[in-house]
Structure 1
Amino acid sequence: MEIDVKEASRRLGVNDSRVRQLLRAGELRGRRVGNSWAIPAEDVARLQRRGRRPGRPLAAKRAWAVLDLLEGGPAAWLSDSARSQVRRYLADLVDPGADGWLAALRGRSRVLEVVAHPAAIERLRRVDGVWPTGPSAAAVRGFDLVALAEPIPQFYLAEEQWPALSHSLALREGAEPRLVVRLPREVWPFAEGRLRGVGDAVLAADLLEAAEPRAVAAGAACLSELLDDWRRARSRA
Structure 2
Amino acid sequence: MAEGDFVSLEAAATTLGVSVRQVRRLADAGSLTRVARGLLERDSMDRYLMSQRRGRTRAWAEYTAWGAIALLSGEEAGWLGPTQTSRVRRTLRELTDPTELVARVRDRARIRLFTAHRAALTRLGTTILQPNLGALGIVDIEDGHLDGYIATQELDNTIRTFGLRENASSNVTLRVTSFDIDQVDTLISAGVVAALDSATSLDPRIRGVGQRALSEILENYR
Pairing of 1:113-152 with structure 2 (within 5 A)? 113-127=113-127, 130-133=128-131, 137-138=132-133, 140-143=134-137, 146=140, 150=143, 152=145
Match of 2:43 in 1: 42
1:210, distance to aligned residue in structure 2 (A) = 0.8
Question: Hey, what does 1:170 align to over in structure 2?
Answer: 163
Q: Which position in structure 1 is the counterpart of 2:220?
A: 229
Deviations 1:53-83 (A, max 9, x none): 4522111111111111111000122222222
1:61 to 42, 60, 63: 63
1:157 aligns to what SS in structure 2?
Answer: strand
2:89 partner letter = R
Task: Compute the displacement of 1:217 (Å).
Answer: 2.1
Amino acid at match of 2:14: R
Partner of 1:190: 184
Asked if structure 1 preserves the Cα contact closer than 8 Å seen for 2:135 and 2:190, the reply is no
Q: Is residue 2:100 matched to residue 1:96?
A: no
Cα distance change on mapping 1:145 and 1:13 into 2, 3 Å: farther
SS at match of 1:141: helix
Q: Distance in 1 between matches of 2:123 and 2:53?
A: 39
Are 1:217 and 2:188 an aligned pair?
A: no
Q: What is the match of residue 234 of structure 1?
A: none
Contact 1:2 1:39 in 2 (8 A): yes
| TM-score between both structures, scaled by the size of structure 1 | 0.77
Cα deviation for residue 111 of structure 1 reads 1.0
Q: How far apart in 2 are the matches of 1:69 and 1:45?
A: 29
AA aligned to 1:82 is: Q
Match of 1:156 among 149, 153, 168: 149
How far does residue 11 in structure 1 lie from its aligned partner after superposition? Answer: 3.8
The code of the aligned residue for 1:39 comes to: L
Residues 43/125 of structure 1: CA separation in 2 closer, same or farther (3 Å cut): closer
- The question of whether the paired residues in 2 share the 8 Å contact of 1:152 and 1:178 is answered with yes
Q: Determine what percentage of the aligned residue pairs are the same residue.
A: 27
Q: 1:202 to 1:142 in 2, by over 3 A?
A: closer
Structure 1: segments with no counterpart, 5+ residues = 232-237
The runs of 5 or more residues in structure 2 that have no matched partner are none
Verify the 8 A CA contact 1:60 1:109 in the aligned structure 2. Answer: yes
2:34 to 31, 34, 51: 31
Distance 2:110 2:62 in 1: 10
Confirm or deny that 1:106 pairs with 2:99.
Answer: no
The whole-number CA distance in structure 2 between the counterparts of 1:51 and 1:82 is 23
Q: Provide the TM-score with structure 2 as the length reference.
A: 0.81
Q: How many residues align?
A: 215
